[in-house]
Chain A
Amino acid sequence: MRLRTLVATAMITCLLPLAAWAAPGPKEVIQGTVDTIINILKTRENPDVLTAENRQAIRKAVEGSFDFREMARRSLSKGWKKINNAQREAFTVVFRDLLERSYGNRLAGFSGETVEYGEVKVKKKNRVSVETDIVDAKRRTPIHYSLHETKDGWRVYNIAIEGVSLVSTYRSSFRKTMKKKGFDGLMKAMTDKLERLKKEDG
């Protein structure tokens, strides 16, 4: 009996780390996503153009690692509480599409830069920051990803580029726009922008 208990305990102890390995940590989430995107960019046919297929592949890579709803909630801040669930859903979709579209266009200019992965800093319980640097011949651009642990694993809820928090930046702009034009005005401005980007991308 005692022996069987010991064996069972040992087996459970051995299995626990395996379970931990099974769910990717925050750094692995970022590394996996970034590497996938870089691979898509490197293997595309025309290095100056991002095709619809490329965009779809990038979207697929990002979806599994970004918590767009949380990003949208944090960006809207107090405004999030003032809108209903349907509006929140609509806002999250436009917000996500805009981010994907505009940053996809920026990624189109990728020309062989490398990404260096730094420390993972614990901010609070279930919240960490993964530090990365995009390095080319002359510049090192620090990009820090903030992640929180969800039931689906670690997900990004903010990005800081060269010390500029995107969520903080969006928050102040959204607040200003909502103050002037209300939530509908904000949605219209974002939707117009999305339509324009779609038109530009053909």
Chain B
Amino acid sequence: MKRLTWILVLGASLVISPAAWAAEKASLAQCIAWAVERSPVTEEGNADVAKAKGLLAEVRGHGLLQGELFGMVAPTARAKGSPTQALTGFSSSRWTGVTDWEIGTLEVIQPLYTFGKLDAYGRAATAGIEVAEARRESKRMSAAQMATEAYQGYLLADTALYITQDIDDIITKAIRQTENMLEDDSDEVLPTDLMKLKNARGLVLKNQYEAKHGKQIAASALRVLTGHEVVPEESQLGYIDLPAHSLEDWISIARSDRPEYREAAQGLIAKQALVEAKQAEAYPDIFMIGLLSAAHSGRDRIVDPFIRDDFNHFYGTIGIGMRWKFDLALNDAKVAQARAEKEAVAAKKRYADEMIPLQVEKDYREMMSLRMQTDALNEAARAGRQWLISAASTYDLGVGEAREIFEALAGYAAAEGGRLKALHAHNLKAVELLQHVGRLRAEMLASKGE
């Protein structure tokens, strides 16, 4: 029977968690690195940066030599004689069949002065790259935060599983002993003691199943986010310790490192540059132009300075040109739109200036509070465990009471459960603080066991 049970358990383990056998241990830093590398939001951020760089290159291209080359090969009617003879009617000119015709023109333009358009668009595009990079950094931190949550979730579930199994072992033994004592009509226990123990065991088992379920979900999340079959290298949930900065220090760090600050500041520069660019659109562009044209065919060449021969020629010229598009009312509207967009970004920046420090303060104070709660619950859990040891020791010698064990178990389980929850919440808050100051990077996170 026992052998059959073992075979069933082993078989079930193999079926339920084949991945667990292949899982490797990895640090939080490694998991974050994998998650950031493979995250679609990182790829999206990279594409946005590349796009912004392309835009700057385009603006720069507008300031450089631009040209257009046109070439054509086509059949045309072969003609002999001259157009003068054809017009006067005495001509010997005539169609003599079909011939080939090749024509090519080259037009090159070098902008000389654009009234600040190119400079303004260039500044906007440069700031646009900074904006895209800041957004990419935010996205990377979101990926890092998700990986950290999965990692911490696994550790929470694994530690909770260990503790609930430990408590379940104690309760199971206590139930067996209490049942024996009741069978022996012992005065030391009451039937209600057995009920209390069984009631407690049910609650512990509920938490145990919850922890098992949570562990499986966290393991799957880690696998999907990192692309590797990994489990945390730590054996139990411990504090994520951040550098011991004051609140003021954290706010200063946020002002220098938070991508949203950089995004808002550079966004404002970009929008201001766009306003200037739209204003400059009201003025013309002055450029140097060069033209070159050549054509050849089997037709006779027209040698007349007043007539251009499209079929046989070669000429070129260089000059100064101007292009001016008159749409002043339309341009004013575009300037107004650009100004409105700039105001929207400015408002966002003002909001960020006020709200980010508040957000950092909230994270910091909650993290500190959770740290103190965890420390207090650490003491409570330690005392609960000592109470349990003490109650079990006297019970083992026949002078303790079963209900004392039950009370100690309840006290220990409540404190230990609360401690784990507070510790997990503390760690998530620490990660949130790092994200909100713009420093959620693998090297900032150091988790240690207790």
Contacts and interface: CB of A to CB of B under 8 A. Distances in A.
A190 B389 contact: no
B162 A138 contact: yes
Contacts of A186: 399
Contacts of B235: 137-138
Interface stretch (A17-25, A59-67, A115-123, A161-169): A161-169
Contacts of A193: 396-398
Contact of B399 (A103, A166, A189): A189
B25 to A, nearest CB: 12
A196 B400 contact: no
Nearest to B159: A138
Interface stretch (A31-39, A82-90, A170-178): A170-178
A166 B181 CA distance: 24
A164 B390 contact: yes
B385 interface: yes
B184 interface: yes
A170 B184 CA distance: 24
B399 A173 contact: yes
Given A137-B235, A200-B180, A166 B393 contact: yes
A202 to B, nearest CB: 12
Nearest to A102: B396
A164 B162 CA distance: 22
Contacts of B399: 170, 173-174, 176-177, 186, 189-190
B100 interface: no
Given A138-B162, A196-B181, A190 B397 contact: yes
B306 to A, nearest CB: 101
Given A138-B159, A138-B236, A164-B386, A169 B181 contact: no
Contact of A109 (B169, B176, B177): B169
Contacts of A103: 396
Interface string B163-188: 00000010000001100110010101
Contact of B398 (A98, A138, A199): A98
Interface residues of B, number: 24
Contact of A169 (B169, B236, B393, B398): B393
A45 interface: no
Contacts of B176: 200
Given A138-B162, A138-B235, A162-B385, A98 B394 contact: no
Contacts of B60: none
**Which 8 pairs across A and B sit closest by C-beta, in order of nearness?**
A193-B398, A102-B396, A173-B394, A173-B399, A189-B398, A138-B236, A164-B389, A137-B235
Interface residues of A, number: 30
Contact of A102 (B181, B188, B385, B397): B397
Contact of A170 (B180, B186, B394): B394
A99 B169 CA distance: 20
B382 interface: yes
B397 A173 contact: yes
5 contacts: A98-B396, A161-B389, A162-B382, A169-B390, A177-B399
Question: B169, B181, B184, B393: which has the most chain A beta carbons within 10 Å?
Answer: B393
B384 to A, nearest CB: 11
A10 B130 CA distance: 84
Given A98-B398, A176-B399, 11 more contacts: A103-B396, A138-B159, A164-B390, A164-B393, A170-B399, A173-B394, A173-B400, A189-B398, A193-B397, A196-B181, A196-B186
Contacts of B394: 169-170, 173
B160 to A, nearest CB: 11
A144 to B, nearest CB: 13
A113 interface: no
A40 interface: no
A164 B399 CA distance: 17
A107 interface: no
A184 interface: no
Nearest to B394: A173
Contacts of B386: 162-164
Nearest to A176: B399
Interface in A145-202: 161-164, 166, 169-170, 173-174, 176-177, 186, 189-194, 196, 199-200
Interface string B21-55: 00000000000000000000000000000000000
